[in-house]
Every structure is written in C-alpha cells, then in structure tokens.
Structure 1
C-alpha cells in the first residue's frame, strides 16, 4: 500500500505504516527524541490524511514490529478475535472514528467488538481524535473487574491508597494508611512501593497491610510493588499476596529490560490465583505502564511511543488484571514535555485501554523538572473522571516522598466524587458507612480521636 498525500503544492510520501503512525501522532518530546516525529504541522496533517484512509484490516497484514522477532506482536496476532473484528473489518481508520462516535457504538457493542481491536488500530484511531472524542468514546466503554470488591462500575471511581515511605518505616506507612482510609481512599488497592527488595522485609510489609485489612474487615486488596519474581518467591514462602504487580511495556525487548516475559507473568497470575484469596473474583494482576518506557530502554523499534504504550495493553488484556494504570507523566519531560502533552497522553492511554477491554486507571502525575504543575493535573484528572476513569492514586498532599514526584491526593478523590456524583466501589462504600467514615449521603464525616481506626490500629503500626 502506498502512503502519500498532497497538501498545497507539496506531496508527502511515507515509507510504511509505521512512519505514517509516528508522524500522525500529536507532538511530543519523546517522538522528537526518537527521530520519528513529523518535522512540521503540515507533515503531521498529511500523515493523518494518509492514516485516515488506511483499512483496519491493513494492521493485520503490515505489522509494525515483525511477528518473528517480538512476542507481543505474536500475542496480538495469535489472540486476535476474527469474529469480533468482522463487525468493523470493512472500515478505514477514519470510518472507525466516525463509527465509535456514533450512537451505533453502544457500551454493549463496544464490549462485543473489543477482542477484535488490536492495539495498533486503537492507537491509529486515537491519532485522528480530538480530546473530546477520546473522552466521549472512553465513557461508553465498560470494563468491570473483581477481587474483594467491584471495580469499574459506571458512576464509580476508585483510588489506590499509596502509603509509601522512603525507609519502609511502619509508623510512616501507618500514618498514610489511616489518613487515606479516613478520606475514603483505598478501594482500588492498598499498594506500597517498597524501598527494599529484601524478601524478609517485604514479607513483613505483606503481613502488616494484610493484618489491617483482616482486622477491620476492609473489602479491598493489598499489593507490594516489587519485582514479579520476588512476589512469586513470597507466594511460595506463604506470604498473604492478594495482587501481583509488574510494570509492563509494549515490546518484547522493553519487557526483557524489566526482566520479564509473558510466560513469567502468566506463571505469577496462576500462582496468585492458587491462593484463592479473592472473595468475589479472581482478577489478581496489577500492571503499570507509561508512554516512553520502550524508548527509554532503546526498545521501540522505530515505533512512536503512544503506539508502543497501546501494545502494552495487549499483555494486560491477555492476563485479565484487576487494575492497570498508565503512570502518565512519571518518566519525565524527555518523553512528555509539558502539561499539554501530559494531558493529551493521559486521555489517549485511557481511551486505548478501555477500547481494548482493559481496566484503565491513571497516575495523574508529573516530575518536578517537567513544564507542568498541579493545575495541569487538576485538568487531566477532571477530564479523565468525566471519561469514566477506573481509578487514580491517593497520596498525602499529592507528594510522593518515596518516589519524589507529584501525583493526586486523597482530597482529589473526594473532589471528583463530589462534583461528578461518583462513588467508591460499592462494597467499600458500605464499609465506609459501617465504620462511620462516610454518611448516608456519601459525604466524609468528621473523625474523632475515639474512632476505631485510631483506637484499635495494630500497636506495631501505631
């Protein structure tokens, strides 16, 4: 297939579909760093005009990363649902955009078609969409998962309570943990980024958090965000592991840099499921992704960073996670330079993940050397919540003292729930009311020193 388009007096030609995709992407610093971005706005528009005419079926024939050399490509092709794809197989990328925006594409229809959509198709159509298009379509997508509570229901938004501490001090963890629960956060997961990879120390963290969940009968799940191989070992040693975490990327080479492959992730999933710790479901995986991860590992194969990101969702979809989130601005301005690029990337990631049938949340965040601030994060989280975001992060003051970046706070979750009428996971909301943390109208109550969480918290954490 030829890829060329004339604008004005100039004809723009592109070598292949990979170049069309890259040059059709909205401007971002990572693609300039990789040398794949359009040189001018006119070239970007010419690439989009070319992309608009590409049949969706072309993505099954012209693979951006060779089948023989990349297991993510093989996963995408080998698991592609031809029956689900048949409904949209006659469409071009532009037609697909129009179809997604139409009333024909209902929640039921999008759920049925999702297994037939490849990451490259999702990424391609996103490049032709305005921000409002990404929001409208993502809002129609429904991805519901379960472990000890129900995540992703329409009209709900969950929060990961992230009680990180730079030395894993139990008292510091306790302070954040109590704070988050009393603000109604933690229904997605209570997830700690540990300072250590020492298995004995990690075992203690698992027991500390699990002890709190069991003592107060909290309908949520815990996760310690260490390498997946550590978690497998800890499962074998009898650790109370609920969710297994791992960062993933969209190419085999990038995942090798993380020390993982798809088979290892499947092994971890099966190990966690064997514990049978879920009470209402067996979605046991928690994945994190982020635009730029493949490029930062020199493993992008000349593919633009947004398409690489979407390919990571193929791995997530295959392993049926409870949670997946894009850590959108965490890698830094080398990949997403400013607030505008971070906002666009967050909306793209959420749209692509949901369209593919992945429970997609977002760590709405930025590093301190990026050209962004908390006002940009307010904008992004408000847009994402309107788009049906599955979950976001909850950290005291939105300032992660362990990882040294800016994200979202417990107050941000309350803000989104209040202005948009959103709720916590239903089982968790009932617990909040039972514990007199939330009133019947869904508002957080004032807390006295006599509250059970303050009076009965384990002494080893207090």
Structure 2
C-alpha cells in the first residue's frame, strides 16, 4: 500500500508501510547506514504526518516482515488479542497519540488494551511523539515483576548490581558485589556478564553468588548472563535463579544469537520447574538494543527502532522478571551521540512499558561515541521521571570487562534521593536490618562495615 503527503506543493511518496515507518523515524546513524532514513528533515516531517493518518488496524494486515518467513511476525500476529484492541481499533496513529495523552487514559485503561497492541503500533506512535510525551505516557504504566524481590512498584527504583571482571576472578567479583550492596544496589539482580561462556566458569560463579546470598540472607536473585544453552547445560547442577538471553526483533537476528523461540521456551520451562522464587516465579531476563538486527544484516529493511520494539513481543511471550535495553552499547554506527542515545532510550522504555514489560535501562555509551557522563546524567534523570523499573550499578560507572560506560552505585543513590524513590520492599527491609540505610533511606557508611564482618564471620 502506497502513502503520500504533500508539503509546499511537493508530494512525497512512500511505497509501503515499512518505508513510511523508516522515513518517519527521528534521525539516527543506524538507519542512515542501512539506507532507509529520510533524506531531508522535510521528508521526515512529511512521513510523520502521513504516518499519523494511518489506521492502527492496518498494522494487523500489512506485515513489515512476511508472516510466512519470520517466526517473530507469526508470534506477533498469533498472540494478538482482538478483544483488547476493540476499544481503540477505530483510531489512527495520530489519534492514538492523543488518546494516550488523555488524563482519562490511566493505568487501568492501558492494562486493558496492552495485549491488543502490536510492537509496530507502539513503534509507529512513538515516532510522532515528543520526548515529554514518551515520558508522560510511560510514567502512567506500572509493570510489577516478582521473584525474590518485587520490582517496578510506584515510588521504587531497583538496581542491577553488575560486578563484572575481565578474568572472571571470584575475589574481584566478590569485592565489587559487597561494595555495591553497601550502596544499596542489587535488588533487581546481582548479574555478572562472564568473560568466558565456559560452563565450568559459569557454574562456579553461580555457586559463589548463591553462597553470598545465603550467607548474608539477601532477598535478591542472581544471574550469570551466559548464553541460554550454557545455562541449560548447568541448570541441574548449579543454582540458577534467572535464565538470561539477548534477543532481537526478527527470526534472523535471533538466529545470529544462536536461539529461536523453541530454545527460549526450553529455558523458561526448565527454570520454572526449579521454583526458586519466593514472592513470585518470573524467571526470565532479556536484554535488547537498537541496532542488533542491522549489525546481523537481519533487519529486512525495517528501521532499527521498530526492530527493537518487535523484540519486546519475544520478551512478552515469556513473562520475564527483567528486561532492559543496553541502549548505547552497540556503538555510534547505530546511535551516534548523546542526543540519539537519549531519544532511543526514551522510545525503548515507552514501547516496552506500553506493551506490558518490566522495563529497565542500561544508561550507557561506548568510549568512541560522541557522548559523555553528562548525557547519561540527563538520560538517567529523564528515565527516572518516566518510572523506569531499574538501572545498572557498575563500580565507578566503568565496566572493566565490557569496556563501556554505564551508571554507578553513587548514581543509584542520587536517583533515589532526588526522585524520592526507595529500593524494592524486601530488599529495603534487609538494608534497614543491616544498618546500611536508615529509616529516611540515607546511607549509613559506618554501619555498612557490618556487612563485611558478617561476610567473614559466617
């Protein structure tokens, strides 16, 4: 189906919905690299106006990637709830934006329609929204997940403690873990990116984290972010809490990761059988990021933000405990500078929350991007206002294994203080009992030493 829009007596033509979506995207280097972005700002605005007139119902019949050749498309189509869509099926993309911003469109209303929304619908509406629109709507969405802690409640902010080490040194990882705990981090997960995917190394790290958790009686969950097949290899002999996997928005992207929906389902079912959660049994942890489909030459001409939103359909199928976009990690070839990273992160968070995912964000950049820590401070604060479920806690904000810049333990303290947010309730009770924080949520540095004494004394 062809689309057109006339500006100053010049008519812009867009040959199909996929082209229109790409041309309407805010500028980013990845789409330019793929040769699908608008050539001028005027063409981009024309595409956005044309996209605003597209009926939401068209996304149910015009598939950006063919149903027959892509299992993610099949998942999106086959899992669509027509009853949930019925109350908004008369809206255009532009009408949908206006409807989302209404005061009457609250959390209850959004919960009623979320299973009737497809990733393409939410990606489309994000393209015609300002940053403040993305923040305002995302803030309406409360998506709560549970394992040993309850993450995502209003007024709370959780942190993934990320104690990575370039040689997977257990003593180095342990030191970073204790350091992070003393700053109140770790209620989302204590999650290690291993330097090697060796089953033996991964198993030993899982056992070490579980020993720390049990010794200190910490109400949290651990995860070694190995490939899902490595986790499945270890799941009978090692203490696996969460099953992790990086995912993408097309079948071909996931194939480049060495996975498909059947493998993800195998991991999900294996973890569910363990029943290791206490307050809930959401067992999956997924990471995503704009540009992964392009870097795998698996985007099918679809813009990178829409590919990213399609990954959320994959995540939603498995009722995950945690999802986050590693927004600036893939590099400046896809998101060139701080401005592009900030916009992409707000889009990702908005789309995921609208689809019903417990969305966090790795507020980050690589050292060769045109970005700095001030950009990340801005983004972190914007996402905090938007009620992002969790951020990363990296020693000094500098990941010495993955060699990128993220957010620190001190950043977590800043966010909780200025936005008056608290840790997950179960973890907060533990922090109080340990004397790490007081009743006001303030860190008690002297009492934090008790954590070290307990570690050595048990």
TM-score higher than 0.5:
yes
Q: How far off its partner does 1:344 sit?
A: 0.1
Q: How far off its partner does 1:457 sit?
A: 2.1
C-alpha distance in 2, partners of 1:192/1:458? 22
Q: How far off its partner does 1:200 sit?
A: 1.5
Q: Equivalent residue for 2:67?
A: 67
Alignment partner of 2:453 out of 440, 452, 455: 455
5 Å-filtered alignment, 1:153-232, equals 153-232=153-232
C-alpha distance in 1, partners of 2:170/2:2? 61
Q: Equivalent residue for 2:44?
A: 44
Instruction: With the length of structure 2 as denominator, give the TM-score of the two structures.
Output: 0.99
5 Å-filtered alignment, 1:326-345, equals 326-345=325-344
SS in 2 for 1:109: helix
CA contact (8 A) 1:55 1:92 kept: yes
C-alpha distance in 1, partners of 2:446/2:70? 54
Q: Equivalent residue for 1:5?
A: 5
C-alpha distance in 2, partners of 1:312/1:198? 27
Tell me whether 1:367 sits opposite 2:366 in the alignment: yes
SS in 1 for 2:455: coil
Computed over aligned residues only, the root mean square deviation of the Cα atoms, in angstroms, reads 1.1
CA contact (8 A) 1:291 1:309 kept: yes
5 Å-filtered alignment, 1:5-404, equals 5-236=5-236, 238-404=237-403
C-alpha distance in 2, partners of 1:280/1:360? 19
Task: After superposition, give the CA deviation of every residue in 1:271-310 in whole Å (9 maximum; x if it has no partner).
Answer: 0111110001110000000000000000000000000000
SS in 1 for 2:51: helix
Q: How far off its partner does 1:456 sit?
A: 3.1
Aligned length: 458
SS in 2 for 1:96: helix
Report which stretch shifted further, 197-206 or 180-189: 197-206
Unaligned runs of 5+ in 1: none
SS in 1 for 2:286: strand
C-alpha distance in 2, partners of 1:448/1:51? 57
CA contact (8 A) 1:394 1:413 kept: yes
Q: How far off its partner does 1:196 sit?
A: 1.6
C-alpha distance in 2, partners of 1:131/1:371? 20
Q: How far off its partner does 1:428 sit?
A: 0.4
SS in 2 for 1:259: coil
Task: After superposition, give the CA deviation of every residue in 1:78-102 in whole Å (9 maximum; x if it has no partner).
Answer: 0001000001101000000000000
C-alpha distance in 2, partners of 1:345/1:353? 12
C-alpha distance in 2, partners of 1:158/1:21? 34
CA contact (8 A) 2:146 2:279 kept: yes
Q: How far off its partner does 1:452 sit?
A: 3.2
CA contact (8 A) 2:434 2:447 kept: no
CA contact (8 A) 2:399 2:406 kept: yes
Task: After superposition, give the CA deviation of every residue in 1:382-431 in whole Å (9 maximum; x if it has no partner).
Answer: 00000010100001110000000000001111101000001110110000
C-alpha distance in 2, partners of 1:125/1:179? 42
CA contact (8 A) 1:360 1:389 kept: yes
CA contact (8 A) 1:212 1:458 kept: no
Unaligned runs of 5+ in 2: none
C-alpha distance in 2, partners of 1:425/1:330? 27
C-alpha distance in 1, partners of 2:393/2:308? 23
C-alpha distance in 1, partners of 2:227/2:326? 17
Instruction: With the length of structure 1 as denominator, give the TM-score of the two structures.
Output: 0.98
Q: How far off its partner does 1:174 sit?
A: 1.3
Tell me whether 1:426 sits opposite 2:425 in the alignment: yes
